[in-house]
Amino acid sequence: MAKRAKPKKVRSELKNTAYEIFIGVLSILSILNLVLVYVFRTDPSLQTVLSVMNGLFSVIFLLDFVYRIFTAPSATKYFFRDFGWADLLASLPFAEFKILRIFRLVRVYRLLRKLGVRTLIRTLVQDRANSALMTLLLMGILVLQFGSISMLAIEEHAEGANITTASDAIWYTIVTIATVGYGDTYPVTNLGRILGAMIIIVGIGIFGTFTGYLANVFLGPSTSGSAAGEVDAAAAPTGGADAVATGAGDDATNSALADAASRGVAAGAAAGAVGKGADAAPDGGAGVPAGVDAARLQALLAQSEATNAEIRKLLARSGT
């Protein structure tokens, strides 16, 4: 049986709601980092952490630009009229262009104006899988940045500390979020240990949620596959009738054939049961079981014969 064609996905300027919010929050955070770079320009350790995070944001925004230009309804319109050029320049590793990330906030504003806050919240609640994925990714980025900055500020000048550089702080935060715990770097102050415990708890939640999401994606049942299976199972009894309906010449004939076939299936099943009972009866036709309306069965048999005759007429009319 021929497989049904999948509906073509409609392209849109705005992507998944949770994804748009994720990119919008990262845009705000990246702009905040630009301010912090100038405010704390005399702190080399903080500059290193912010440079690493800005490099990560540049990679994410470059991938976002590629994704948008390949999925936009019109690549030209997106690039020239919907600030695609600003997305591209802002993703490049040049400090002068990073301020252009503010144009991404315009897209978030469009989303809020288009959907409304109430609809936005309802959409996020209904699309729990994507919302959870974007949330945990955002949490991971926030913990990586502010956890590294906070841990460095707490431990950098403590006695006996081994987290004394930006590299140490970033490495400790990554290892702790991943719940690996090599033990080569660790906090020695009470406040640092409290912060480390919070990072561990957040890391467990992030990786636990991420593992569940991957399990749902790769091991969960396919919704489209299940629907296709149900359609095939429902169409299986019609056999040649379905092929007739799909092979006819025009829409009117197709509709008539499909209607006749669907009525013929029900009537044919009953007629088959009648015929089988009649053949099995000792007298060749009077073997209708007790309690069964013989007149009703005869009417179904007549209806089946009439339907078959109608299908033959439609086939002849369509030239099949």
Lowest-confidence pick of 50-54, 69-73, 89-93, 247-251: 247-251
Has residue 20 been placed in a domain?
Answer: yes
* Tens-place pLDDT, residues 258-297: 555 555 555 555 555 545 454 444 444 445 555 556 777 7
Answer yes or no: do 136 and 103 share one domain: no
Euclidean distance between CA atoms 309 and 12, whole angstroms = 49
Per-residue pLDDT tens for 153-202? 999 888 888 898 999 999 999 999 887 878 888 899 999 999 999 999 88
Q: Tell me if 313 is assigned to some domain.
A: yes
| Domain assignment of residue 101, yes or no | yes
- 133 and 115 assigned to the same domain: no
**Is residue 103 domain-resident?**
yes
Using CB atoms within 10 Å of the CB of residue 132, give its burial: 0 to 12 exposed, 13 to 18 middle, 19+ buried: middle
Domain contains 156: yes
Domain final residue pick, 110, 126, 142: 126
Is the same domain home to 153 and 188? Answer: yes
Both 117 and 137 in one domain: the answer is no
pLDDT at position 191 is 93
- By CB atoms closer than 10 A (0-12, 13-18, 19+), residue 145 is buried
Cα separation, 244 vs 41, whole angstroms: 76
The residue from 82, 108, 126 where one domain ends is 126
Q: Which residues form the domain of 279?
A: 240-318
**In the predicted structure, residue 233 carries a pLDDT above the cut 50:** no
Q: What is the mean pLDDT of residues 34-38?
A: 87
* pLDDT tens-digit map of 43-79: 888 889 998 998 899 899 999 899 988 888 888 888 8
CB neighbourhood size of 116 (10 A) = 11
CATH number of the domain enclosing 150: 1.10.287.70
Q: Which residue has the higher pLDDT, 191 or 221?
A: 191
Tell me what the mean pLDDT of segment 131-138 comes to.
83
Statement to judge: residues 176 and 121 lie in one domain? no
Instruction: Give the number of domains in the chain.
Output: 3
